[in-house]
Amino acid sequence: MIMNTKKGRILVVDDNAGIRSTLKILLPAHFEKVEAIPSPATLISQLEKFKPHVVLLDMNFNTNINTGNEGLFWIGEIKKAAPKTEVVLFTAYADVQLAVEGMKKGAFDFVVKPWENAKFIATLSAARDKALDQENPTIATSAKSEKSSGMFWGTSPQMENIRRNIEKIAPTDATVLITGENGTGKDVLANEIHKLSARSGKKMIAVDAGALTETLFESELFGHVKGAFTDAKADHEGKFELASGSTLFLDEIGNIPLHLQAKLLRAIQNRKITKVGDSKEIPVDIRLICATNMNLEKLVSDGTFREDLYYRINTVHLQLPPLRERPDDILPLSERFIASFNTKYHRHVKGIAPDAVLTLRKYPWQGNIRELQNVIEKAVILSDGDTLKTADFQLNRAAMQDAATSAPAPENLESAEKQVIQNAMTKFGGNLSMVAKSLNISRPTLYSKLKKYGI
């Protein structure tokens, strides 16, 4: 399906006539209306008259002055006059610190001249879409839920195999069993399957099955009618009924007591439920996803989990690997969390020092991704600088010592440094000036390291 991306209004503010002429040719293919002015002198009146969704703002307008202070000033003025207008900064100087200052004042993003058309248009389009979302919040909420994904796939062979399987099974109604240690993201994977399914139009219903007390088990899953028991003052829909037409996610299914498993099996087999206090069967149309951190085969062998229930929920089995088996994913995951917590706590952490990356890669992460997220959150909040160092991470010293004594072959600092550079190259789209600035090294030093590591 070809999507129409020609929408929205953009105002270009740049004193270079050649750039204005070029953009007047380039941008109409992507925006409904394009205006360009040579200075911010008439900017406020243009905001009122033209009502742009995006302002592409040059940072410097006086000859021989390239501090960017003019651009920083006008960001504030734009936000005062038109708070929902998004500002993209435009400069010939690859100064990451200046970009950070612009973001703090409310800029959407930062583009360095000369630009690469595809990335340039992608940045402006994203800014426009955000502005349009603010005009249509209902549509925006729906669009974001369609586009956003909490799933981080990484590069490990195990995760790549799971991803390929998800592409095959998500469109079907096949029952899925997700297993893995605590903190590996079983709930996130369940959401991803639902999002890619034909049932994504309705909310997935999630239940922590292991937390249900025996007295509430049937009522919570199957519902009850008024007067079924004391305090049942009204009819109550259970999770099976609420999930009809959608996906039911039963987390921690291995913790359900044996004598309650028969009732669950009956509902799954028949796709019918009977509310507590009622005799009428209600058909339910669900897609079932279950998850556990327990070894269900062993539980079956021990006689504490029904074999027929195990095979009923195990049409497709996905085993999420622990984070310690995905060391190459630790840095990109950390950077993802840093970006999130920068926004949440109004911090400006740029990255992680190479020696700290090595520490994170060697740490055993017994709590997996959830533990990593918690460690990064604390580090972002408590760090004094813009680069996280080993001392910023509150790690379990006993676990670190165990990892050090059990590690078969220690990594060296160079491997960590190589990964940091590779991630910076990806983050800044190969812009060497931006990469060098973010790593706090000179361009010649960066060239040398790129050659050394074959990047």
CATH code for the domain of 362: 1.10.8.60
- Is 86 part of a structural domain of the chain? yes
Q: How many helices (H) and strands (E) does the chain have?
A: 20, 16
- Give the residue, 7 or 180, on which the prediction is more confident: 180
- Is 251 part of a structural domain of the chain? yes
Mean pLDDT in residue range 208-225 = 86
Structural domain count, the chain:
3
- Is 293 part of a structural domain of the chain? yes
| Structure tokens that stand for 112 in this block | 């360095």
Is the pTM higher than 0.75? The answer reads no
pLDDT grade, residue 4 (50/70/90)? very low
| Structure tokens that stand for 321 in this block | 């690997």
User: What is the C-alpha R_g of the chain?
Assistant: 27
Tens of pLDDT, residue by residue over 50-66, are 999 999 998 877 655 55
Give whole-number Cα distances, 244 to 168, 200, 342, in Å: 23, 12, 39
- Give the residue, 48 or 439, on which the prediction is more confident: 48
Please give the pLDDT value at position 99.
Answer: 61
Q: If you search the block for the tokens 């991470």, which residue do you land on?
A: 393
**pLDDT greater than 60 at residue 138:** no
Highest mean pLDDT of the ranges 275-289, 396-410, 423-437: 275-289
**171 in the same domain as 87:** no
| DSSP code of residue 385 | S
Please give the pLDDT value at position 68.
Answer: 60
**387 in the same domain as 315:** no
**17 in the same domain as 138:** yes
Q: Which of 365, 424, 425 is nearest to 395 (CA)?
A: 365
Tens of pLDDT, residue by residue over 72-83, are 889 989 999 999
**120 in the same domain as 171:** no
**227 in the same domain as 108:** no
Tens of pLDDT, residue by residue over 181-200, are 999 999 999 999 999 999 99
Last residue of a domain, one of 250, 285, 319: 319
- Is 3 part of a structural domain of the chain? no
Give whole-number Cα distances, 82 to 44, 109, 299, in Å: 9, 17, 61
Q: Which domain holds residue 74?
A: 9-146
**108 in the same domain as 26:** yes
- Is 152 part of a structural domain of the chain? no
Last residue of a domain, one of 94, 124, 146: 146
Neighbours of 24 (CB within 10 A): 13
Interatomic CA distance for residues 263 and 255, integer angstroms: 15
Neighbours of 213 (CB within 10 A): 8
Percent of the chain residues past pLDDT 70, beyond the cut: 88
- DSSP helix/strand/coil, 205: strand
- Is 169 part of a structural domain of the chain? yes
Note the Cα 81 to chain centre separation in Å: 32
DSSP assignment of 136-164, as one string?
SHHHHHHHHHHH-------S-HHHHHHHH
**139 in the same domain as 15:** yes
Percent of the chain residues past pLDDT 90, beyond the cut: 53
Please give the pLDDT value at position 368.
Answer: 95
Please give the pLDDT value at position 5.
Answer: 52
Last residue of a domain, one of 264, 291, 319: 319
- Is 432 part of a structural domain of the chain? yes
